[in-house]
Copies of this chain bind each other. A is one copy, B any other.
Amino acid sequence: MPKAKYNYIYRDLKEKIETEYYAYQELLPSEHSLASEYGCSRNTVRRALAELTAEGCVQPMHGKGVRNIFQPVEQTSFTVGGIESFKESARRNKQNAFTRVLLFTELSADETIEKRTGFKAGTELYYLQRLRSLNGKPLILDHNYFLKNLVKGLTPEIASHSIYDYLEGELGITIATSKRTLTVEHVTQIDEKYIDMKDYNCMAVITSQTFDDNGVQFEFTQSRHRPDYFRFQDVATRRRG
């Protein structure tokens, strides 16, 4: 969708990196030569490189060049990364996804909910519980709160497919950022009721607040994963100064 030139260059470079057209640990062509290759300014090349740097695909070295440090990740379990719907994650992890809606209600936020979710008391919300299965095995239990004001006309039917498709496709909501916290918590009775926990007494828990492009929080979700099918990946860069 974005017709931006830097975005095209970003995708092109990324493909050449992933397919090892540029070998691992090798230097990419200089910014100057990339600029003439793509017929653009050096700034535009630099912008594409900045994205690749943020993803940990390349490493720019002052005075030397830009090194390819991309390594493919193993995809054994269910890997979580950026903002994705369950469907998208499942497709990326090449797994068969199924969602069962356990609970679909509406409620008004009180002070307890405000403190936990970030929604002001009195706010009208949808509250859902959904059980996610991969290849037939129930492994993830989601508790979702959606802002009724913004996420209009939500139904159990939609919730059993993809709410994100509905938000972005039907309602024209632009999902912008998501603040996530990852913790490990004791299993609950609800967890044990729906998920075969084997001998684990803990769950990997992702809680997230998600905002649209107006800075309005429209979602709070707690996503509880069985440990052996959970993997979260991240590339961090060291902050100097």
Query: A residues engaging B (CB < 8 A)?
Result: 1-2, 7, 11, 25, 54, 56, 59, 61-62, 64, 67, 69, 71, 77, 81-83, 118, 174-186, 199-204, 211, 213-215, 227, 230-241
Residues of B within 8 A of A179 (CB): 56, 71, 233-235
Residues in B neighbouring A211, C-beta threshold 8 A: 59, 69
Complex-state Cα separation, A204 to B232, whole angstroms: 11
Q: Are B7 and A183 in contact (CB under 8 A)?
A: no
Once the chains bind, are A230 and B54 in contact (CB under 8 Å)? Answer: no
Q: When chains A and B are docked, how far (Å) is the Cα of A25 from the Cα of B217?
A: 11
Given the known interface contacts A182-B182, A202-B184, A236-B83, the answer about A213 and B2 at a Cβ–Cβ threshold of 8 Å is no
Number of copies of this chain in the oligomer? Answer: 2
User: CB distance A202 to B181 under 8 Å?
Assistant: no
B59 and A176 contacting across the interface, CB-CB below 8 Å? yes
Known contacts A202-B200, A237-B83: A181-B215 contact under CB 8 Å: no
- Given the interface pairs A236-B82, A241-B1, the reply to whether A214 lies near B56 with Cβ below 8 Å is no
Q: In the complex, are the beta carbons of A181 and B231 less than 8 A apart?
A: yes
Contact of A201 with B204 in the complex, beta carbons under 8 Å: no
- Selected A-B contacts with CB under 8 Å, 11 pairs: A1-B240, A61-B213, A81-B236, A82-B236, A83-B236, A176-B237, A178-B235, A181-B234, A200-B202, A202-B202, A234-B234
A82 close to B237 (CB less than 8 A): yes
> Is A215 in contact with B69, judged by CB distance below 8 angstroms?
yes
Q: Taking the nearest CB of chain B, how far is it from the CB of A78, in angstroms?
A: 11
Q: Choose from B54, B186, B235 the contact partner of A180 (Cβ within 8 Å).
A: B235
Point out the residues of chain B lying under 8 angstroms from A67, CB to CB: 214-215
Q: Determine if B69 and A234 form an interchain contact, defined as CB atoms under 8 angstroms apart.
A: no
Q: Would you list the 5 A-B pairs with minimal beta carbon distance, nearest first?
A: A184-B227, A202-B202, A182-B232, A67-B215, A175-B238
Q: Which one of A61, A182, A201 has the greatest number of beta carbons of chain B within 10 Å?
A: A182
C-alpha gap A176/B237 in the complex (Å): 6
- Inter-subunit contact B177/A202 (CB<8 Å): no
Interchain CA distance A180-B77 in the complex, whole Å: 15
Question: Bound complex: CA of A237 vs CA of B231, how far in Å?
Answer: 19
A59/B215 contact (C-beta < 8 A), A182-B232, A202-B200, A234-B182 known = yes
